[in-house]
């Protein structure tokens, strides 16, 4: 494999982890988060500091996961106070606060970011294999949660919190769980990203990235693990495959997001299901 293919597969793997983990929060549990980039970034910075301090990959990944999910649980508490679009606004705020804070911190490299982070020692292809394994594990976890009681409770809370409460589902606990799990995975993705680039700046985790991730989730079909995986892969490959799309990336992503919400709110997963039903009937 060429270096280009290795780096492309690594980016795809990271985006799959991010989109699938966002889908757990926003798709399964219905808590719209437009600040996923902040948790991803928190994980990346934690891993970078841990790598510089200890040089131990395992420790770096664990600190990425812990820092990501700690921040996620704090933001999860916000979801107990505000709902729906106001939660979305709060998470946008969290994303801006994160980048605004990091840019001013000398110990986090400020505007210049952190460079010269020690590598994982696995080489580019070893890194890629590690990222893809974690991506596969994330998909498996998402599928498992989707079928479990927890997934049922998430969906119940997402559909109608008050009705879920009458069924004896502790909405607050499940919302925190969704945020905790989803953001832990985002932190993990951040740690993997740190190994992949060995150089991080706040700009890599800004609000636009969060919008892109939400676009992947909505276009793939909010709540559908496979739909989101396909969208994450497709939307990462699209700018690479078509030169035109690479120049107009935000135009295409924004346009697709608006079109899908306007014309097919269930995303491609719902379209695929509709086509499959029609085929089986014919």
Tokens of 129: 């294999």
Does 255 bind other proteins (CB under 8 A)? Our answer is: yes
Does 100 bind other proteins (CB under 8 A)? Our answer is: yes
Does 45 bind other proteins (CB under 8 A)? Our answer is: no
Tokens of 27: 């798709």
Does 112 bind other proteins (CB under 8 A)? Our answer is: no
Q: How many CB atoms lie within 10 A of CB 274?
A: 12
**How does DSSP classify residue 118?**
P
Which residues is 220 bridged to in the sheet? Answer: none
Measuring CA to CA, which residue among 17, 46, 228 is closest to residue 131? 17
Does 214 bind other proteins (CB under 8 A)? Our answer is: yes
CB of 11: closest distance to other proteins in angstroms? 20
- Please name the residues in contact with 67: beta carbons below 8 A apart, sequence gap of 6 or more: 42, 43, 45, 46, 187
Comparing CB distances to other proteins, the nearer of 15 and 99 is 99
Does 248 bind other proteins (CB under 8 A)? Our answer is: yes
Does 9 bind other proteins (CB under 8 A)? Our answer is: no
Does 85 bind other proteins (CB under 8 A)? Our answer is: yes
Does 104 bind other proteins (CB under 8 A)? Our answer is: yes
Which residues is 114 bridged to in the sheet? Answer: 200
Q: What is the spatial distance between Cα 103 and Cα 226, in angstroms, rounded to a whole number?
A: 36
CB of 1: closest distance to other proteins in angstroms? 32
Pick the binder of other proteins from 137, 258, 274, 275 (CB under 8 A).
258
Comparing CB distances to other proteins, the nearer of 35 and 191 is 35
Q: What is the spatial distance between Cα 89 and Cα 103, in angstroms, rounded to a whole number?
A: 21
Does 249 bind other proteins (CB under 8 A)? Our answer is: yes
Pick the binder of other proteins from 11, 211, 216, 232 (CB under 8 A).
211
Long-range contacts of 123-126 (CB under 8 A, 24+ apart): 124/3, 124/6, 124/7, 124/10, 125/1, 125/6
Comparing CB distances to other proteins, the nearer of 68 and 267 is 267
Does 257 bind other proteins (CB under 8 A)? Our answer is: yes
Tokens of 24: 């757990």
CB of 243: closest distance to other proteins in angstroms? 14
Does 251 bind other proteins (CB under 8 A)? Our answer is: yes
Comparing CB distances to other proteins, the nearer of 65 and 171 is 171
Size of the site for other proteins (CB under 8 A): 44
Q: Which helix (H) or strand (E) holds 30?
A: none
Does 155 bind other proteins (CB under 8 A)? Our answer is: no
Does 271 bind other proteins (CB under 8 A)? Our answer is: no
Pick the binder of other proteins from 60, 71, 94, 186 (CB under 8 A).
94
Tokens of 271: 């379209």
Measuring CA to CA, which residue among 14, 26, 69, 9 is closest to residue 215? 26
Greatest Cα pair distance in the chain: 65
Residues making contact with other proteins (CB under 8 A): 32, 34, 78, 81-90, 92-94, 96-97, 99-101, 103-105, 207-208, 211, 214-215, 218, 247-251, 253-258, 261-262, 265
């Amino acid at each position: 494999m060429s270096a280009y293919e290795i780096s492309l597969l690594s980016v795809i793997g990271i985006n799959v982890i991010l989109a699938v983990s966002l889908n757990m929060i926003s798709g399964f549990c219905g808590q719209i988060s437009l600040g996923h980039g902040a948790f991803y970034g928190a994980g990346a910075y934690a891993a970078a500091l841990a790598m510089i301090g200890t040089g131990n990959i395992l420790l770096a990944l664990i600190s990425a996961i812990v820092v990501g999910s700690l921040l996620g649980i704090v933001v999860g508490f916000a979801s107990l106070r505000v709902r729906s679009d106001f939660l979305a606004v709060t998470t946008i705020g969290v994303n801006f606060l994160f980048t605004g804070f990091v840019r001013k911190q000398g110990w986090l490299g400020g505007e210049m970011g952190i460079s010269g982070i020690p590598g994982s020692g696995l080489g580019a292809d070893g890194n890629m294999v590690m990222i893809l394994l974690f991506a596969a594990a994330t998909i498996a976890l998402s599928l498992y949660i989707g079928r479990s009681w927890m997934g049922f409770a998430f969906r119940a809370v997402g559909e109608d919190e008050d009705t879920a409460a009458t069924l004896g589902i502790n909405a607050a606990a499940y919302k925190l769980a969704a945020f905790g799990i989803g953001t832990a995975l985002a932190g993990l993705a951040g740690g993997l990203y740190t190994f992949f680039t060995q150089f991080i700046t706040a700009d890599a985790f800004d609000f636009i990235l969060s919008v892109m991730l939400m676009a992947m989730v909505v276009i793939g079909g909010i709540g559908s693990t496979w739909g989101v995986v396909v969208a994450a892969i497709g939307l990462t490959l699209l700018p690479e495959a078509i030169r035109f799309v690479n120049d107009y990336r935000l135009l295409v992503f924004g346009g697709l997001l608006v079109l899908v919400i306007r014309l097919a709110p269930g995303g491609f997963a719902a379209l695929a299901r509709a086509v499959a039903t029609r085929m089986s009937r014919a």
